[in-house]
Amino acid sequence: MTETSLTTHDLLRQRYGDAIPERIISNAAIDLLLSHRSVRSYSNEPLPEGTLETMIAAAQSAATSSNLQTWSVVAVTDPERKERLATLAGNQNHIRRAPLFLVWLADLNRIAQAAEARQMPHDGLDYLEMWLVGVIDAALAAQNAVIAAESLGLGTVYIGAIRNHPLDVAAELRLPPMVMPVFGMCVGKPNPDRPAAIKPRLPQAAVLHREVFQPEQVPPAVEHYNTTMAAFYAAQRMNVEGDWVDHSAKRVAGPQSLSGRDVLRDVLHQLGFRLK
């Protein structure tokens, strides 16, 4: 979503609070990236014709490991299918309401099939490494699609909850073996009555290490971020209990905090990934 009224400095302030990095180079593409926010409320307008194809062209323009292109995507617009997927993915209403729901897939099946057709071996696909390649490829492609959508004034939100019940999702989408839903993505025109805010990120000192990892930088930067997020929650009138460390620690407290995804390794085996 491009906000021509905001300067790069405004965008950086929203992204970092008072921990604004110095020496940021500004241009239209950087401003677009800095403007990102997940959008979970959509207007009733249909998407402009060509939106899907444009997003996919952007996705296919992402880098891809060894040009293997080990990803695919299923575009869902049928309200009944969206309803079933929403139920499977944490009952999230924005999936129902988005005019377009994309399910991004790590797809090792296409190469397996192509190699098999020539009686060529493809045992390398059975290794964890190749599953990771598929997931990375899908993520890079999807993020390019997000940027393309945002450049068109559209809003998106990723849906990791598509992995809550991957076998049911695979059945719903009739996925072949060795194809895994990595995440979903809602796409729609942002509802002007419920604009989404830019969410602050950690100060750069928490994520950027020069030459070698600098562990001493991290705790103060995290502490600073807790303060920034407290101000964000107050400004957004979000009644959030605890700070960012609290939420983040709760999100990873144990297998019970993984929304059923603690069994992912077994599920992947059932989907045909051997993960050697």
Ligand X SMILES: Cc1cc2nc3c(=O)[nH]c(=O)nc-3n(C[C@H](O)[C@H](O)[C@H](O)COP(=O)(O)O)c2cc1C
Binding site for ligand X (CB under 6 A): 36-38, 40, 92, 157-161, 183, 199
Least distance in angstroms from the C-beta of 81 to ligand X: 18
Q: Kindly tell me which of 114 and 238 has the beta carbon lying closer to ligand X.
A: 238
Encoded tokens for 165? 């019940």
Crossing angle (nearest 10°) for helices 51-60 and 128-151? 130
Q: Which residues contact 245 (CB under 8 A, 6 or more apart)?
A: 222, 226
Q: Kindly tell me which of 92 and 144 has the beta carbon lying closer to ligand X.
A: 92
Q: Kindly tell me which of 92 and 109 has the beta carbon lying closer to ligand X.
A: 92
Least distance in angstroms from the C-beta of 250 to ligand X: 14
Q: Kindly tell me which of 20 and 115 has the beta carbon lying closer to ligand X.
A: 20
Q: Kindly tell me which of 40 and 165 has the beta carbon lying closer to ligand X.
A: 40
Least distance in angstroms from the C-beta of 192 to ligand X: 17
d(CA 252, CA 265) in angstroms, rounded, equals 17
Q: Kindly tell me which of 247 and 265 has the beta carbon lying closer to ligand X.
A: 247
Least distance in angstroms from the C-beta of 29 to ligand X: 18
Least distance in angstroms from the C-beta of 273 to ligand X: 19
Least distance in angstroms from the C-beta of 139 to ligand X: 8
Position with the least CB separation from ligand X: 160
Strands 100-107 and 71-76: antiparallel
Crossing angle (nearest 10°) for helices 218-235 and 244-251? 100
Least distance in angstroms from the C-beta of 182 to ligand X: 8
Strands 71-76 and 179-188: unpaired
CB 202 within 8 A of CB 221: yes
Q: What are the helix and strand counts (H, E) for the chain?
A: 12, 4
Please write down the HEC assignment for all residues of 129-175: HHHHHHHHHHHHHHHHHHHHHHHCCCEEEEEHHHHCCHHHHHHHCCC
Q: Which residues contact 62 (CB under 8 A, 6 or more apart)?
A: 137, 140, 141, 143, 144
Q: Kindly tell me which of 176 and 191 has the beta carbon lying closer to ligand X.
A: 191
Give buried/exposed letters for 210-236 (b at 16+ CB in 10 A, else e): eeeeeeebbeebbebbeebbeebeeee
